[in-house]
Amino acid sequence: MGSRIHVYPNGSLAIEAVTEKDAGDYLCVARNRMGDDLILMKVSITMKPAKIDHKQQFKKLVPYGKDFRVDCKASGSPTPEISWGLPDGTLVNNAMLADDSGHRARRYVLFHNGTLHLNKAGVAEGGDYTCYAQNTLGRDEMKIHVTVVVAAPQIKHNYRTHVTVTAGDTALLDCEAAGEPRAQISWLLPSGEVISSSSGRLSLHANGSLSIGHAGPLDAGQYLCLARNPGGDDTKLYRLDVAARPPAINGFHRNKTIMKVTAVRHSKKHIDCRAEGTPPPQIMWIMPDNIFLTAPYYGSRIAVHKNGTLEIRNIRPSDTGDFICVARNTGGESVLVVQLEVTEMLRRPMFKNPFNEKVIVKPGKSITLNCSVDGNPPPDISWMLPNGTWFPSSIRTPQFSTGANGTLTIHSPEGHHAGRYRCSARNQVGYIEKLLLLEVAQKPSILTRPAGLVKGVSGEPLPLHCVAEGSPRPRVEWTLPGGRVLERPQLSGRFLLLENGTLLIRAASAQDSGNYLCRARNDAGDSSLTVPVAVTAYAPRIVGRPPPALHTMPGAAVQLHCAVLGVPKPEISWELPDRSVLSTAHQGRGSGGELLHPTGTLLLQSPRPSNSGVYKCTARNPLGTDTAATHLHVI
């Protein structure tokens, strides 16, 4: 009955893909031998043309690089088929996606509900998108205008910039740009060449910056940075100046360098003059007779090589003198003065000062140890540090540097730099060495400090101690209360200044009381100590007196006491009846057998009547006197 109409064994009739022509009366007849039956069915077909729901004309803004989708819902009977017309005229439908060849349409996804999805919108995706809904009864359409939003590039700090670098350094020109989509960076060079990637010494970085390695004079000029995207472009102009690098001869960045060299008669001598600078310096040698030779120069006996080395063959005594190398470029000039000495024979190394030395240096103050050596050929000089490290000449570290003339400089020496430094000199003929003892000075410190007032006794020795330590050994001086200064070990009156710094007052007196100032000083500084002194003294006083009168028999020994107190210790004397005087300080025995004890007691061992009379005791010290008398009767 046709491909669309089927009759099933159970009597049902099925019509596929109905159309308006299928409407009408359908008669079902059932028949067998016994008879038949029938039923009439009237079929009406309800159809509705395609229509897009919520149709409207609208605009859609989409940020550059973002995904977007547009919806298109349609109704109708039969169910409409949805398709989309793109801005470039391409028609997207499910049939086309199923047969996608793998090109543009792959970025689009058309869902069964009519929604169109686009990945990563670009500028080309802007325009009108038209949705078509179609079935057998009709067609409907809806238009959506999509605008892809872009941001034109904008270079940060966009103003004219002047950059100056020293020749040989790296120049960096910034060009960081903001924009959407991300701007493409290119540079217009002074030569007119445009680059958008790194090339040789020119490195184009991810942020757009351009670096120029080992910049030279030819790199100077204007550099234009161009940042461009679909939204527009922006530029930034640089002016690059490359300053010349002044010449440096043999690595010395000085205007003038002087060096001494020796050569043996009839030998060949090479004198280096390696000049570095930008632009490359021109090298010229000035001979002792004022002849100018520009590199390169090749004569019969003298040559100046291209690298600046001066070669003298068959050295003569007349070659002794100053050879001057001049290196010059637009950045300036540098001069090397070579004082050439021609010797007749080889000589083993010999120190100008052959003795071991002791050097004292202040902490933090740079010190140069000298190891000047003569010899032919000139000896190679090296230094051994206290820790065993060897340094050849012309070496520089943060703490040490050695010179070609045999010096060793210690920068900012501290206590741990002290020790034994060994200098050695060697040439083809021999080897010598010497020792230098480096001592880092330490400020004096006074070790003896009295607890308080120092008390002395008048007439007694009084030591004032001032023991100090430091490096070098401190010099001690004392300032007396009257202002007088004792600067070195000496004997001055009653004052004796000892080697260990002690001040000895040999016989103290009351006028020695006061403040004594001890000062210890050396190269690292000084330290002082004030010592207050009080000297105790009082006049003599006789506390053990003889009786006013005393009787004794002839031949019976008699003791006449005279006990005395006083500071300083008083001198005791006795005046006898015959006017003679016995003293504890001088004469202690009389002509009549009298004996004066050091304590002041007078002993008459065998008195006679002629010894009768007045005996007078006198006690005397610098502060005064005291007397006592007794009348002796011998009967």
Q: How far apart are CA 18 and CA 1, in angstroms?
A: 15
φ/ψ bin of 514: left (φ > 0), alpha (ψ from -120 to 50), beta (otherwise):
left
**What mean pLDDT comes out for the span 48-52?**
86
Task: List CB contacts of 595: < 8 A, sequence separation 6 or more.
Answer: 588, 589, 602, 603, 605
- Residues 134-178: tens digit of each pLDDT: 888 888 888 989 888 777 888 887 666 899 888 888 999 999 888
pLDDT of 102 higher than 50: no
The pLDDT value recorded for residue 402 is: 92
What does each C-alpha distance from 222 to 4, 464, 468 come to in angstroms?
81, 83, 72
- Residue-range domains of the chain with CATH: 5-43 (no CATH), 48-149 (2.60.40.10), 151-243 (2.60.40.10), 245-343 (2.60.40.10), 347-440 (2.60.40.10), 442-536 (2.60.40.10), 538-634 (2.60.40.10)
Q: How far apart are CA 438 and CA 362, in angstroms?
A: 11
Other CB atoms within 10 A of residue 278 CB: 22
Across the range 96-122, mean pLDDT stands at 71
Binned at pLDDT 50, 70 and 90, residue 103 comes out as very low
Average pLDDT for the chain: 87
Question: CA distances (Å), 414 to each of 266, 361, 410, 440, in order?
Answer: 49, 9, 10, 7
Task: Give yes or no for a contact between 480 and 489, defined as CB atoms under 8 angstroms apart.
Answer: no
Q: Count CA atoms within 13 Å of residue 571 on its CB side.
A: 15
User: Which amino acid is it at 195?
Assistant: I
Which stretches of 330-430 are assigned E, i.e. beta strand?
A: 332-343, 347-351, 357-361, 367-369, 373-376, 380-384, 390-392, 400-402, 408-410, 419-426
With a pLDDT cut of 90, the percent of the chain lying above it is 38
Q: Work out the average pLDDT over 363-369.
A: 90
| DSSP per position, 44-75 | ----EEEEETT---EEEEEETT--EEE---EE
Q: What is the pLDDT of residue 105?
A: 46
Percent helix, strand and coil across the chain, each to the nearest 5: 5, 55, 40
Distance between CA atoms of residues 222 and 209, nearest Å: 15
The arithmetic mean of pLDDT across residues 604-628, rounded, is 90
CA distances for 550 relative to 285, 546, 563, angstroms: 119, 9, 17
Write out pLDDT tens, residues 529-554. Answer: 999 999 888 889 998 888 999 999 98
pLDDT tens digit string along 490-504? Answer: 988 889 999 999 999
Confidence (pLDDT) at 505 = 92
Question: Cα separation of 515 and 528, whole Å?
Answer: 12
Nearest to 310 by CA among 322, 295, 300, 292: 295
Residue 215 near residue 242 (C-beta atoms within 8 A)? yes
Which is nearest to 369 in space by CA: 359, 384, 354? Answer: 359
| Interval 38-58 mean pLDDT | 82
How many CA atoms lie less than 13 Å away from 311 in the CB half-sphere?
Answer: 13
What's the pTM? 0.35
351 vs 103, residue with greater confidence: 351
Phi-psi region at 190: left, alpha or beta (left = phi > 0; alpha = psi -120 to 50): alpha
Residue at 445: amino acid letter: S
Reading the block at residue 205, the tokens are: 């970085």
